Structure 1
Amino acid sequence: MSENTQNNTPKKEQYSLNDDRRVKVLSPGALVAKRFFRNRLAVVGLTMLLAMFVFSFIGGVVSPYGQDQQFYTYTQMSKEYVGVTRNDKLRFVVADGQEFGSIAQSKGNEAIKKGEETFTYKDNNYEVENLSEDLYVFRQGRTVLAYASKDMVTAADGVAELSFDAKLAALTAQAAGETTFTADGQDYELDADGNIIQSGSEVAYIGRFVVSAADASVVISRDFRDRLEEAIDDNITEFNYTDADGNEAEYDIVYDASTGVWSVKQMTETYVFDRYASPNKEHWLGTDTNGMDMLTRLMYGGRVSLIIGFIVVAIEGSIGIVMGGISGYFGGWVDNLIMRIVDVFYCLPSMPIIIILGAAMDAMRIDSWTRMMYLMLILGFLGWPGIARLVRGQILSLREQEFMTAAEACGISAWHRIFRHLIPNVIPQLIVTCTMSLGSTILTEATLSFLGLGVKYPFASWGNIINDVNNAYVMTNYLFIWVPAGICLLITVLGFNFVGDGLRDAFDPKMKR
């Protein structure tokens, strides 16, 4: 080989044995990350969680609707309009200012059935005047106390009622077959159809149908009463009626044989919640029972469920680290005391306690936001013993090692040794435990919300969204109400479990063997 060729060949760089460039060294954190991302199942779980976080937190921001925004629509609804009874029994009407109670009326009925002209009640004598088989008048001396009649006097406009004397005079005239009568200084006419006329205007009428409006503000016209009575007499179950303002409506008549009442329902166009609307271009997952957009509720529900999960785990971790750290480091009577407290918490029936507290908050009508805060505090306060035992066990094994002996020899305080040297060595196990418990916390919150004891309206959570499925009909016919929330719960909890398993294997690879 020529001298020029040797000069052109680059010399290979030589490293000494103590040169850091010989070996590429990874930090402990980088090694954990490398092992974690080599675990395909852990990566899948992390991807699932990222998708749910983006869906819940970013989706709620970009959604054009609010979590409690309600949507309305017009629909034909059947509403209770009036109730109708045929008065086939004697009905008592008591004069103004007179006393003739239910017991006296019962005594009067007995006298009528026996054909007696007098009866006694509470040492008082009463007279029964028979004007016809459908009209009886009750007196005490010359004073008229009441009358009992199968026919009723009803104002023509449904508002301006005649006086007691006018009603009795009208019924008396009808029983006697007269066409005129006088009452309260006024002259009235009575036609063959039972219409009471004063000065050429109909003011009332006599009939056996009693029509009671479901809404006190509704005035039943005479024309509608006549049309209704005609339909009932002809056994018609539905009819159309146009009122004086030209508004036409359809009416359904349903007879209840047990009560003897005809229920008249009006079909009207009503502005109501757009309940259980099927998925469409405006509402991709339809609407719920309150007319709210389901996709938006799912987004905000995920935000609430995830926030509750993280805050509860943070509370559990904070209490557990402090109690476990103190117990494991000091030992002795301190350890015994804290472990007995942990045993007491393990013996508490958590779910019944939470249900009782939830019912108490319902009774006290605590607002939704405060209730959610209480829920997080309760779940966190009841869940710390497991973390405390984990921390205690780890610290018991670490406190006897050489680095702790050196720290104590250097004069470092006990609290500094616990929270600056011992606790950081427990963090890997804590991360795994807390990650795994996030899924169970979210499931617990969803269960409580489903039972109506967790997050309340107007806040959404995946649990109270599923709570809308309160009967078999909704569950089988409106799958878009509860299936998406169930899928979100499944993906989130499964993702946390996958990530927890991946972190456990990354921190301690020997566990896979």
Structure 2
Amino acid sequence: MMDKDRENRIDKKTEYTDIDNGLSDVQRVKVLSPGMLVVRRFLRNRLAIIGFVIITFMFLFSFLGGLLTPYGESQVFRYIGNMSKEYVSVTINNEFRYTVAEGMTYGNAAHARFILARNRGDSFFTHDGEEYRIIQEAEDFYRVVLTDPKAQITYIRGVMSLTPLEDGLVFEEELQMAIREAIDAEQTNFVIGGEQYTLTRQGRDYVLGTIKDVAIESLLIADGVSSNEDLGFEFKFLLEKTLKTGDSLSFSFEGDTYQIEEDENVASVYKIVGSEREQYALISQMAVRPISTDVILTIEFKTALEQAIVDGVTNFIYPDDSGNDVVYDITRINNVYTVKTETRTHLISMHEQPSSNHWLGTDKHGMDVLTRLMYGGRISLMIGFIVVLLETILGVIMGGLAGYFGKWVDMLIMRIVDVFFCIPFLPILIIIGSVMDKLDVDPQLRIYYLMLILGIMSWPGIARMVRGQILSLREQEFMLAAEATGLSISRRIFKHLVPNVIPQLIVLATLGLGGVILYESTLSFLGLGVKFPFASWGNIISGVTTAYEMTNFWFVWIPAGLLILLTVLGFNFVGDGLRDAFDPKMKR
């Protein structure tokens, strides 16, 4: 009996031994690699999975959505509608304007000399070595002339002696009598035989000269039938002199007769043609100028406009080229009148409400908001990844050198890190953004500068972490073995030390992505980051600044704000999940 029990025990032992030593499919030992353990821990973290789903959606929305949308990033949508546009500008002229005689030279410098002489009460002024005389024809109406000396006159007790200044000059008795009368009457100029003469006193003697017209100075503005028609010096002179000094409001010019019809501050000039008359010019103190150079103002329109201004009305009706009545609105600011009219034109579809064509409406530039969000996501995500990549490379290099070499190298690099930590990050970015605005940097180049600056300013945190990890790793056995095998310093640092820091780098980089996106969005919101026409989530929000816009155009700023919020949350969730997956003790 005992032998039988002994045999049974031996059989069971053999059976157990066979089961333990045989790796059957049922009893196979499952061995997980460290990487698979990290993946399993990450997949068990619900918040990490939610963050991963959010980030995946953002990438698909930004990069794939931009390819599928039928609209472009900078495509502006327009519609045809009525718009009140400026048509004409009218200025009440309170400054002297000059008209130059044909063949003469008279510019702004001479005009300024005239103003100074008139204000001082002088009857002459000098410019470019020439002496100009000022002859007042009427109130606020002057003639500027040059004097050509003809004779030296000595006049004592009724006895006059004329000395010609040019050979061959002969002075007739009639001219000599006129000179005597002018001297006795203390006149400085007179007219005889259609010729104008001047008398300029020099001590006890006089200088007789003839007059050559140079320009007229006046407050009134004369316009012809067409805006491009120049009435000429002689016509303007006769017109204004007749208007201000003539008993009869008519004058003749080049064989034609003209009649002036005055109405308060506006006077119309008609050309007499047989028994009929046609409007030829308009003279007033108003300067009428079209807003656009391709607009030609007729004399009839100017007459109606100036009459409306004189009457003090706020609008008037005038037919267009097709004969349809058009209403013109008049607004006044000081001495300037602005005339507006409703014009059929292409208008930008600004702040259009969400519809089937534009699911999130349009912004203030008339661009599709949903499309701008897609392209803006590209910019924000690309800036985030490139900045994190740049700061990681710089941080690993500087931290690796400091941690491995120690001593003065470590001291120098850590002091540089301390200096960077003391720099006010956001104010520096705002200053740099303002400088780029002042220099008018190209928007595309501005994005590259922004990524470079953010990367350079953000590496010290990673460098400090890498340095601390390498300080604890460099004295371990595997590093002593690597040194004993004769590996170079660069291979020891970047082949053996840095790979052991990669888990911490991944966690820091993932958490840092959200911060970079927030920085970029803040700068773009302040107008110092990504510039129009490129889109980013920050500058989309900056398009809504007033309380009215925030209340009525919610479809512009709320979606962009939600995308920023979800993206930053997603990266933070993934970063926390990776940290817990690499080091489960962190959850305790």
TM-score interval, normalised by the smaller of the two chains = 0.7 to 0.9
Alpha-carbon contact 2:137-2:241 (below 8 Å) kept? no
Alignment deviations for residues 13-42 of structure 1 (CA, whole Å, 9 cap, x no partner):
953169595532222122112211222111
Deviation at 1:417, TM superposition (A): 2.6
* Aligned twin of 2:269: 195
Q: 1:205 to 1:471 in 2, by over 3 A?
A: same
1:29-62 Cα offsets, whole Å, 9 max, x none, are 2211221122211121112111111111111111
What is the aligned-residue RMSD (CA, Å)?
A: 2.9
Q: Residues 495, 144 of structure 1: CA spacing in aligned structure 2 closer, same or farther, 3 A cutoff?
A: same
1:435-474 equivalences in 2 (<5 Å): 435-474=510-549
Q: Deviations over 1:421-441 (max 9, x none)?
A: 222221111111110000001
The offset of 1:210, in angstroms, is 3.3
1:83 matched to 2:89? The reply is yes
Give the paired residue count.
Answer: 492
Which of the numbers 104, 114, 138 marks the counterpart of 1:104?
Answer: 114
Q: 2: CA distance between counterparts of 1:164 and 1:472? A: 58
Identity %: 49
Q: TM-score normalised to the size of structure 2? A: 0.76
**Closer/same/farther in 2, CA of residues 210 and 503 from structure 1, 3 Å limit:** same
Give the Å deviation of 1:168.
1.3
- 8 Å CA contact 1:451, 1:467 repeated in 2: yes
Q: Which deviates more from structure 2 when the two are superposed, residues 396-405 or residues 304-313?
A: 396-405
Question: Equivalences for 1:332-351 in 2 at 5 Å?
Answer: 332-351=407-426
Q: Give CA-to-partner distance per residue, 1:166-220, whole Å, 9 cap, x none.
A: 111122333424354333x342321535323165653323344432222333222
Q: 217, 223, 232: which one pairs with 2:294?
A: 217
SS at 1:15 equivalent? helix
1:228 corresponding residue in structure 2 = 305
- In the alignment, is residue 176 of structure 1 matched against residue 246 of structure 2? yes
Give 1:151 shift: 4.6
CA contact (8 A) 1:238 1:253 kept: yes
Moved more, 166-175 or 244-253: 244-253
Distance 1:136 1:459 in 2: 59
Match for residue 15 of structure 1 among 19, 26, 30: 19
Distance 2:95 2:527 in 1: 50
Q: Is the Cα–Cα contact under 8 Å of residues 108 and 119 in structure 1 kept in the other structure? A: yes
Per the alignment, residue 64 of structure 2 pairs with 58
Per the alignment, in what secondary structure is the counterpart of residue 161 of structure 1? Answer: coil
Contact 1:180–1:187, Cα closer than 8 Å, also in 2: no
Paired letter, 2:330 = I
The residue aligned with 1:394 is: 469
CA contact (8 A) 2:98 2:111 kept: no
Bigger share in strand:
2
Contact 1:56 1:301 in 2 (8 A): yes
Tell me if structure 2 keeps the 8 A contact 1:78–1:268.
yes
1:405 Cα deviation from its structure 2 partner: 2.6
Q: Over residues 325-368 of structure 1, what are the superposed CA-to-partner deviations in whole Å (9 max), with x where a residue is unaligned? A: 22212222222222222223223333333333333333443322
Identify the residue that residue 93 of structure 1 maps to in structure 2.
Answer: 98
SS in 2 for 1:16: helix
Unaligned runs of 5+ in 2: 1-14, 148-197, 199-210, 263-267
**Does structure 2 retain, via aligned residues, the 8 Å contact 1:92–1:146?**
no
3-state SS of paired residue (1:440): helix
Equivalent residues of 1:395, 1:422 under 8 A apart: yes
2:20 match: secondary structure:
coil
Tell me which residue corresponds to 1:119. 123
Q: Do 2:73 and 2:372's aligned partners in 1 also have CA atoms closer than 8 Å?
A: yes
Match of 1:388, SS state, is: helix
CA distance in 2, matches of 1:107, 1:280: 69
Aligned: 1:267 with 2:342: yes
In 2: Cα distance, 1:125 partner to 1:232 partner: 37
Letter in 1 for 2:240: L
Q: 1:134: how far off?
A: 6.9
**Contact 1:312–1:377 (8 Å) recurs in 2:** yes
Residues 1:423 and 2:479 aligned together: no
TM score, norm. by length of structure 1:
0.87
Aligned residues of 1:157 and 1:203 also touching (Cα < 8 A)? no
User: Which range is displaced more, 12-21 or 187-196?
Assistant: 12-21
In structure 1, C-alpha distance between the alignment counterparts of 2:469 and 2:515, rounded to whole Å: 23
Kept in 2, the 8 Å contact 1:170–1:190? The answer is no
Q: Is the 8 A contact 1:90 1:148 kept in 2?
A: no
1:318 alignment partner AA:
I
Structure ID, larger Rg: 2
SS state at 1:424 partner: helix
| Distance (whole Å) between structure 2 residues aligned to residue 347 and residue 240 of structure 1 | 69
Counterpart selection for 1:306 from 381, 400, 403: 381
Q: Partners of 1:347 and 1:436 in 2: how far apart?
A: 22
Equivalence map 1:457-496=2 (5 Å): 457-496=532-571
Q: Whole-Å Cα distance in 2 between the matches of residues 127 and 53 of structure 1?
A: 80
CA contact (8 A) 1:462 1:486 kept: yes
- Deviation readout 1:231-290 (Å, 9 max, x if unpaired): 33443222332223335533211122xx23322112212213222222111111111222
User: 1:162 matched to which residue of 2?
Assistant: 231
Matched AA of 2:322: D
C-alpha distance 505-260 of structure 1, shift in aligned 2 (>3 A): same
Which 10-residue stretch deviates more, 242-251 or 120-129? Answer: 120-129
Q: Using the alignment, how far apart are the partners of 2:558 and 2:441 within structure 1?
A: 30
Q: 2:317 matched to 1:240?
A: yes
Q: How far apart, CA to CA, are the structure 2 residues paired with 1:312 and 1:127?
A: 74
Q: Measure the CA separation in 1 of the matches of 2:111 and 2:217.
A: 13
- State the partner residue of 2:158: none
Classify 1:13/1:489 alpha carbon distance in 2 versus 1 (closer, same or farther; 3 Å).
farther
- The secondary structure found in structure 1 opposite 2:49 is helix
Q: Secondary structure at the match of 1:304?
A: helix
Change (3 A) 1:297 1:125: closer
Is 2:47 the counterpart of 1:37?
no
**Inter-CA distance 54–383: structure 2 relative to 1 (3 Å threshold):** same
**Cα distance between partner residues in 2 of 1:325 and 1:108:** 83
